[in-house]
Amino acid sequence: MNAPPAGWHDAAACLVDGSGNVIAYSEQERHNRVRHAIGDGFNKPVGAARFCLDQAGITIDDINVIAIGWNVDQMFPGFFADERELATHATGFDFPGRLPRIVRVPHHEAHAASAFYASPFSEAGVLVIDGNGENESTSIWSFSYGRAPELKRAWPRTASLGYAYDGASEWLGFHHLNAGKTMGLAAYGRAQGLSVETLLDIDGGDLRPAVPSLPESHGQATIDEIGRHYGATVAAWRDLYSKLAGADGPTVPVHRLPEDPAAVLVAYTAQRLIEDAVTSLASTARGLAGVEELCLAGGVALNCSANGVLPGPVFVPPVPHDAGVALGAAWTVCPPRRTGEAMSPYLGEDVRAPGVAHPEMSGLLRTDFDADQVTDLLLDGQVGAVAQGRAEIGPRALCHRSILAVPDTADVHARVNRIKHRERWRPFAGVTFAEYGARLWERQEHLSRYMLGAARVTDEARRVAPGVVHVDGTTRPQVLASGAAPAVEAVLEGLAGRGAPPVLLNTSFNDKGEPIVNSATDALAAFRSMDLDFLVLDQTLYRKASRAR
């Protein structure tokens, strides 16, 4: 689990069997419908855990071990009277009888395990970069099957690259959990060829950020010290960005941020800091591990632009952020057997689960799903959504809970942003098959599996799919494997059969401020509330009677 008291956001639960096979995985936000599962009463992964148990057909009494992706004892010394109190607080379950064994897995170790064991590699260097763990902000590990993971190097909390990015996000007016907006805005600086200060001294593989580190209680820091250091360090970064920009924040509304030179400067300065640091750290990790294969985890591994500049074999799991420590903690207890294949991301709730057996149909037209009909609707300029099979895990929609459109004009980019009530400058990703993707963007061996790496586009992509080309000439592609998402695969084949480019705009099926839809009930509610033209829900096509032709 990623669970309180340490895991105060992105709570999640993952169930594995004694051989490390993942039975189910889900984030709590998908169940309580509160983004990042933040707030008292929302941050316990009880809904996610119940889903996992139901998926396996067992109860909490059948669980042998509960692994938590934090060293709770260090951060909250004396907070719990005994193991039973900790288990109840973290999970939201009562344990009147037998209590499972409780294992505390250090945060960065759990991150590292989630990345390596999800990868197709037999051995790899693993680079973990986030805001902070218990005592570190960046760590390098060596993993291989058949031996224990080895911590090679670590950097203290207040040298955090995540804190540096949080400072920029806060300067821009974003919550630090919305750092993806900062990354999207930074592309405008790249497109302008903006010259920015480095804010990072790299010397012999060591990193010294412009904001100096604070004295820390290594190995014994409590949550109070961690919180004080976080606030002070982020404030120092925010002050530094203010000096660079000559302002304490943007001078225009959020939907016009690309027009504000100071906002673009701050976003791009923070982005370049991350990219320079990640490039150096990746080289150091490969050297320390003695192999070229590299895995990334931690919240900074969601930075697709930074991931995309790395050479060589690079793998990022579908859940690199804090929710992923649920997976890594479980795998620390029960590592999986090597398969040579990357993990499937489709581990969440099945849209066919009971809940909408007889949906309320007023204003909706309902027919059987037909790929040819959906292809025609998309070619006619309509925008639709798909909710099919088990939900993908993580923050990227991978065609099981996606909004889709044909990206043949720049106008569709603006329309989908309006549908999602997002800022019009926010970018979108494209999805296609591997063969056609090779014509549209630079090849990524692994990052395009889960839409976690930016790639430079080709002239053909600019011509046939301008709706998924960001201002800096990149996109965040998904290459769809055969059989992974049957409905979308059929539509892509239908596009090709009609002589159209087999590529679609693919973005998450959710409205502004909401988690990605999970259940059929969620999908129908979102379809009604958003300005979408159609919905593919399992094997049924829904259309709005008011706009059907």
Cα separation, 305 vs 437, whole angstroms: 18
DSSP structure string for 88-127: HHHHS---SS--PEEEE--HHHHHHHHHHHHSS-SEEEEE
Q: From the candidates 9, 31, 176, 446, which is the catalytic residue?
A: 9
Cα separation, 244 vs 509, whole angstroms: 37
CA dihedral sign of residues 359, 528, 518, 466: positive
Length of the chain measured in residues: 549
Q: Which helix (H) or strand (E) holds 31?
A: helix 29-32
The amino acid occupying position 239 is: D
Phi-psi region of 253 (alpha: psi -120 to 50; beta: other; left: phi over 0): beta
Cα separation, 101 vs 122, whole angstroms: 29
Closest-CA residue to 523 (of 353, 344, 323, 319): 353
DSSP state of 2: B
Strand partners, 296: 127
φ and ψ of 202, to 5 deg: -110, 120
Environment class of 96 (CB within 10 Å of its CB; exposed 0-12, middle 13-18, buried 19+): exposed
Residues 6 or more apart whose CB falls under 8 angstroms from that of 358 comprise none
Please state, in angstroms and as integers, the Cα–Cα distance from residue 344 to each residue in 66, 167, 487, following that order. Answer: 23, 34, 17
Give CA 49 to chain center in angstroms: 20
Phi-psi region of 363 (alpha: psi -120 to 50; beta: other; left: phi over 0): left
Cα separation, 549 vs 544, whole angstroms: 10
Structure tokens at 336: 């999986």
216 close to 224: Cβ distance less than 8 angstroms: no
Question: Is 9 one of the catalytic residues?
Answer: yes
Q: Strands 294-297, 314-315: parallel, antiparallel or unpaired by DSSP?
A: parallel
DSSP structure string for 220-287: T--HHHHHHHHHHHHHHHHHHHHHHHTSSS-SS-GGGGGG-HHHHHHHHHHHHHHHHHHHHHHHHHHH
Catalytic residues: 9
